């Protein structure tokens, strides 16, 4: 039986309030609710869309609570085999990395070369930094500061618990050591010369891309290889700079991930793939590890006072972190600077040829595109006869032949800008040379 509309309305009007609510929910449709306004909407359920959004949010939050600890647990257990894990757990590079990476020792000889103390110089702090040099050095996170003139230590200070024998990690100062080892290998005939193509020693590169045959050792040393190098800041744990620093198999990285994006010998681009390739060249040309070659050809002839070490990519791979990771006592950084101050000769030994020293440090843009950078050495363009090795957080070996001086600074952080450090070294060397 179909009820007449008037009869339906009469029946509804005779309902109790509870019966009316049930009727409204079960009988009246959406269009009726809109028409009846508050009479019906007051009995409507909460919107399902809001409830669904809240449920999804809670699910996502619960997943994050579960996934993040699992992810970091994986990373913590994987630092020996994953660069991403290292970047996540170790985060930004710092001077403590020498304790995190495995390392290969570089043994010193039995008799250190003489580097006696001279009359201590009264060196002022930089202009505007007060009269006390020691106070300035403490404020700038310096761990060691040494000045050598006329082959004598005329200023030697250590801070923040460091001592004479405490190794300080080099960061990119290691590149200047690597350059010297390449020069020694050329002097000995293990490597033919700077204009040898890299594929003469690492032929599998040409199998992947024949254009590698055009890249020479000079291109690698002068940072003009034309290889891709893209930096990526943390917290994203990948990128060429992160891979070349935290990689656990740097040989494979250099062989498989290098990509040519420009002609060699052209634009200058600071690139940490270059030292990795040179490390491969050195290993294959000399038939030994880079650390062992350094121990017998550089460290012992130099008369280093303390053992050094070179950080490795991993225990399994055992390849030196060629772009960084050399760990050296500051007084032996000074001896290394003295070697270059004296044209490759020190401790009565001709360690590397004078020709190599000149090629590596002269401000000469006729063979290399950048006058400010030569063969893994920087040139002080304000005093072009001076040059320096430079590492992250302000590691320096500054060589001033005109002042017969070497200045070494190591630290846990820059403290001041690079340009300000260079101005400090420049002023000190000017004072030592008598330059007004």
**pLDDT tens-digit profile of 69-91?**
776 676 656 777 788 888 887 88
Domain identity same for 150 and 35:
no
Determine the Cα–Cα distance for residues 107 and 105; give it in Å rounded to an integer.
Answer: 6
Determine the Cα–Cα distance for residues 306 and 303; give it in Å rounded to an integer.
Answer: 9
* 235 vs 370, more confident: 370
Q: Do the domain assignments include residue 83? A: no
The predicted pLDDT at position 191 comes to 98
Domain identity same for 20 and 150:
no
**Reduced 3-state DSSP string for the chain:** CCCCHHHHHHHHHCCCHHHHHHHHHHCCCHHHHHHHCHHHHCCCCCCHHHHHHHHHHHHHHHHHHHHHHHHHHHHHHCCCCCHHHHHHHHCCCCCCHHHHCCEEEECCCCCCCCCCECCCCCCCCCCCCCCCHHHHHHHCCEEEEEEEECCEEEEEEECCCCCCCCCEECCCHHHHHHHHHHHHHHHHCCCCCCCCEHHHCCCHHHHHCHHHHHCEHHHHHCCCCCECCCCCCCCCCCCHHHHHHHCCCHHHHHHHCCCECCCCCCCCCCCCHHHHHHHHHHHHHHCCCHHHHHHHHHHHHHCCCCCEEEEECCCCCCCECCCCCEEECHHHHHHHHHHHHCCCEECCEECCCHHHHHHHHCCCCCCCCCCCECCCCEECCCCCCCEEEEECCCEEEEEEHHHCEEEEEEECCCCCCHHHHHHHHHHHHHHHHCCC
Q: Do the domain assignments include residue 331? A: yes
Domain identity same for 15 and 107:
no
The predicted pLDDT at position 183 comes to 98
* 360 vs 46, more confident: 360
Domain identity same for 33 and 101:
no
Q: Do the domain assignments include residue 131? A: yes
What whole-number percentage of the chain has pLDDT above 70? 84
Q: Do the domain assignments include residue 77? A: no
Q: Highest mean pLDDT range out of 29-33, 234-238, 353-357?
A: 353-357
Band the pLDDT of 47: cuts 50, 70, 90.
Answer: low
Q: Do the domain assignments include residue 48? A: no
Band the pLDDT of 133: cuts 50, 70, 90.
Answer: very high
Domain identity same for 24 and 128:
no
Domain identity same for 12 and 126:
no
Q: Do the domain assignments include residue 322? A: yes
**pLDDT tens-digit profile of 192-213?**
999 999 999 999 999 999 999 9
Mean of pLDDT values over 160-169: 97
* 57 vs 423, more confident: 423
What whole-number percentage of the chain has pLDDT above 90? 73
Question: Residue 135's domain is classified under what CATH number?
Answer: 3.40.710.10
State the chain's mean pLDDT as an integer: 88
Mean of pLDDT values over 298-322: 98
Band the pLDDT of 264: cuts 50, 70, 90.
Answer: very high
Domain identity same for 37 and 166:
no
If one counts the domains in the chain, the total is 2
Min mean pLDDT across 26-40, 345-359, 421-435 is at 26-40
Domain identity same for 339 and 245:
yes
Q: Which domain holds residue 23?
A: 5-41
Q: Do the domain assignments include residue 54? A: no
Min mean pLDDT across 10-14, 50-54, 59-63, 319-323 is at 10-14
Q: Do the domain assignments include residue 81? A: no
């Amino acid at each position: 039986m179909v009820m007449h509309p008037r009869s339906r309305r009469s029946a509804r009007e005779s309902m109790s309030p509870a019966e009316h609510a049930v009727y409204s929910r079960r009988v009246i449709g959406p269009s009726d609710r809109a028409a009846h306004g508050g009479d019906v909407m007051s009995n409507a359920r909460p919107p399902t869309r809001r409830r669904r959004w809240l449920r999804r949010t809670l699910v996502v939050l619960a997943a994050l609570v579960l996934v993040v600890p699992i992810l970091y647990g994986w990373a913590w257990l994987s630092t020996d085999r994953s660069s991403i894990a290292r970047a996540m757990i170790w985060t930004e590079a710092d001077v403590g990395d020498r304790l995190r990476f495995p390392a290969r020792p570089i043994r010193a000889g039995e008799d250190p070369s003489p580097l006696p103390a001279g009359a201590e110089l009264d060196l002022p702090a930089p202009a505007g930094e007060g009269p006390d040099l020691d106070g300035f050095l403490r404020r700038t996170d310096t761990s060691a500061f040494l000045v050598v003139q006329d082959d004598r230590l005329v200023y030697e200070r250590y801070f923040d618990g460091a001592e004479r024998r405490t190794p300080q990690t080099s960061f990119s100062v290691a590149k200047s050591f690597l350059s010297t080892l390449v020069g020694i290998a050329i002097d000995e005939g293990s490597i033919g010369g700077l204009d040898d193509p890299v594929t003469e020693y690492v032929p599998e590169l040409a199998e992947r891309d024949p254009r590698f045959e055009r890249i020479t050792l000079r291109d690698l040393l002068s940072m003009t290889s034309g290889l891709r190098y893209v930096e990526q800041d943390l917290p994203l744990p990948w990128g060429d700079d992160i891979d070349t620093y935290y990689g656990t198999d740097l040989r494979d990285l250099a062989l498989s991930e290098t990509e040519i994006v420009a002609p060699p010998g052209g634009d200058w681009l600071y690139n940490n793939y270059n030292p990795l390739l040179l490390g491969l060249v050195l290993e294959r040309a000399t038939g030994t590890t880079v650390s062992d070659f350094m121990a017998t050809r550089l460290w012992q002839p130099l008369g280093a006072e303390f053992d050094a070490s070179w950080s490795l990519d991993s225990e399994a791979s055992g390849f030196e972190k060629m772009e960084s990771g050399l760990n050296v006592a500051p007084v032996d950084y000074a001896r290394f600077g003295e070697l270059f101050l004296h044209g490759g000769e020190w401790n009565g030994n001709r360690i590397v040829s004078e020709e190599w020293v000149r090629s590596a440090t002269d401000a000469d843009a006729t063979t290399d595109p950048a006058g400010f950078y030569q063969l893994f050495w920087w040139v002080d363009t304000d005093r072009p006869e001076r040059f320096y090795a430079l590492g992250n957080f302000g590691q320096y070996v500054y060589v001033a032949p005109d002042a017969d001086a070497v200045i070494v600074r190591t630290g846990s952080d820059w403290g001041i800008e690079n340009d300000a450090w260079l101005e400090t070294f420049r002023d000190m060397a000017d004072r030592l040379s008598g330059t007004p």
